[in-house]
């Protein structure tokens, strides 16, 4: 209490020992905190960058950084082991969405070779309060998801590519995310070490 | 429709509050971003206005969602108490531990184990003390924004002495 000019009561106004009120309504707010915070971030990025493409790139980069950490949480929480094939991976990605965002996207449109599929979102907490203004039609609002998936898969030795095919914010019926398997990453030993 | 969305969210929490880390990672990325964009000012302090602004806009919106079915507040102290209890526990999973005021527009909110700090260090670990302001300015903005929407114009500063506890000084601006 060393701030000049403010004399504070020595006795507490009140002590916070009353029982916590676990109101369901208040719990919802916590996920809205995430939604709104993400919205504020996108708004700030749009302010900072002139080019919408740069915003997309930045969102992807942030997602990547989140993904490489989130995979740890995912593995710890689910205790899941290695995937047998890419279909197995698809199901685990679906579980990931269920755990972290509480939504279950549907897995559809498998390619014949089984290396490419789509995730379709009917509800998406990220876009709950969002409407895109006309000048941002190139904005990929949920681009953070792409980064998260790429980062998370890279940490389990899998290189994937993903992109949005349809977007509810652009008046499509569903948001469709296409995911393609590129290759397995081998453990690389840092240069100069045996 | 609306009811359905609410139901799924409650189920989510029943399954173990998994989305908790999501916000923390996002916050970390925002801090990272704000730092990459800012240049240090003359006193060598980091310029954190971007974080503060983002916090403000989140606070301004989220308080509306929180107080939707709440009775009208009696006075300023009543609002601050709401911030300390329900607001804080829904955002940071615990209440403010201690509130002090001079009854003339200065409030000091103390949290002994702040959610965004308690993984940084404990037991008066001084190693990261220099870096902590960047972890608090989002929350300063959040407080200022929510108070602004309740009709209280204020400035909010944060102070840390020992991790992971911190104090938020709210100074109400009288017009």
Q: What is the CATH number of the domain that holds B21?
A: 3.30.1380.20
Please report the pLDDT score of residue B12 as a whole number: 42
CB pair distance less than 8 Å for B101 and A9: yes
* ipTM, 2 dp: 0.83
3-state secondary structure of B77: helix
Please report the pLDDT score of residue B40 as a whole number: 65
Q: Is B55 exposed, middle or buried (0-12, 13-18, 19+ CB in 10 A)?
A: buried
CB pair distance less than 8 Å for A25 and B69: yes
* A&B contacts, CB < 8 Å: 149
CB pair distance less than 8 Å for A100 and B29: no
Q: Between helices B2-14 and A24-48, what is the axis angle to 10°? A: 100
Q: What confidence tens digit (pLDDT) does each residue in B83-118 have?
A: 998 888 888 888 899 999 988 889 999 998 888 887
3-state secondary structure of A159: strand
How far is the C-alpha of B49 from the C-alpha of A128, rounded, in Å? 26
Q: Is A45 exposed, middle or buried (0-12, 13-18, 19+ CB in 10 A)?
A: buried
Q: How far is CA A104 from CA A13, A97, B7, B48, in A?
A: 46, 6, 14, 37
Whether the pLDDT of residue A141 is over 70: the answer is yes
Residues 133-192 of A with CB under 8 A from B: none
- List B172's β-bridge partners, or say none: B154
The distance of A92 to chain B (nearest Cα, Å) reads: 15
Q: How far is CA A94 from CA A78, A91, A107, B54, in A?
A: 12, 5, 8, 30
Q: Which domains does chain A have, with CATH numbers?
A: 24-184 (3.30.1380.20)
- Residues 6 or more apart whose CB falls under 8 angstroms from that of B85 comprise A16, A18, A21, B95, B96
List the single residue in A13, A44, A102 with the smallest CB-CB distance to B99: A13
CB pair distance less than 8 Å for A29 and B103: no
Radius of gyration of chain A (CA): 21
- List A85's β-bridge partners, or say none: none
3-state secondary structure of B23: helix
Cα B32–chain centre separation: 18
CB pair distance less than 8 Å for B30 and A41: yes
Please report the pLDDT score of residue B4 as a whole number: 44
The domain of B88 spans: 2-172
Contacts of A15 in chain B (CB under 8 A): 98
Please tell me the pTM assigned to this model: 0.82
Q: What length does chain B have?
A: 175
pLDDT above 90 covers a percentage of chain B that reads: 35
Mean pLDDT to the nearest integer, B141-162? 91
CB pair distance less than 8 Å for B19 and A100: yes
What's the domain count of chain B?
Answer: 1
- Residues 6 or more apart whose CB falls under 8 angstroms from that of A176 comprise A118, A119, A120, A121, A164, A165, A166, A167
List the single residue in A9, A14, A33 with the smallest CB-CB distance to B62: A33
Contacts of B62 in chain A (CB under 8 A): 29, 32-33, 36
């Amino acid at each position: 209490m060393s701030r000049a000019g403010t004399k504070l009561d020595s006795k507490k106004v009140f002590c916070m020992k009353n029982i916590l009120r676990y109101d369901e309504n208040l719990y919802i707010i916590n996920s809205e905190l995430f939604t709104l915070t993400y919205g504020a971030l996108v708004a700030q990025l749009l302010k900072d960058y002139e080019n919408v493409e740069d915003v997309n790139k930045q969102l992807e980069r942030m997602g990547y950084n989140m993904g490489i950490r989130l995979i740890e949480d995912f593995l710890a929480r689910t205790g899941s082991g290695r995937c047998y094939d890419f279909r197995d991976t698809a199901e685990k990605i679906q579980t990931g969405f269920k755990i972290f965002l509480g939504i279950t996207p549907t897995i559809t449109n498998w390619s014949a070779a089984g290396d490419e599929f789509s995730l379709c979102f009917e509800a998406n907490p990220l876009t709950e309060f969002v409407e895109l203004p006309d000048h941002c039609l190139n904005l990929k609002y949920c681009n953070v998801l792409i980064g998260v998936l790429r980062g998370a898969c890279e940490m389990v030795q899998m290189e994937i590519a993903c992109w949005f095919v349809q977007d509810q914010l652009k008046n499509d019926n569903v948001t469709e995310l296409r995911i393609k398997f590129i290759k397995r990453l081998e453990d690389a030993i840092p240069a100069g070490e045996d | 429709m609306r009811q359905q969305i609410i139901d799924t969210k409650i189920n989510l929490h029943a399954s173990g509050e998994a989305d908790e880390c999501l916000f923390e990672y996002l916050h970390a990325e925002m801090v990272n971003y704000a730092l990459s964009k800012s240049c240090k000012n003359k006193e060598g302090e980091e310029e954190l206005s971007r974080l503060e602004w983002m916090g403000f806009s989140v606070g301004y919106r989220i308080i509306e969602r929180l107080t939707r079915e709440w009775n009208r507040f009696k006075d300023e102290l009543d609002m601050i108490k709401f911030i300390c209890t329900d607001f804080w526990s829904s955002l940071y999973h615990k209440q403010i531990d201690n509130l002090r005021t001079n009854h003339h527009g200065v409030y000091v909110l103390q949290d002994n184990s702040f959610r965004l700090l308690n993984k940084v260090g404990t037991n008066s670990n001084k190693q990261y003390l220099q870096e902590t302001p960047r972890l608090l300015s989002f929350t300063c903005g959040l407080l200022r924004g929510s108070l602004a929407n309740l009709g209280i114009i204020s400035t909010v500063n944060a102070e840390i002495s020992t991790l992971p506890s911190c104090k938020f000084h709210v100074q109400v601006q009288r017009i």
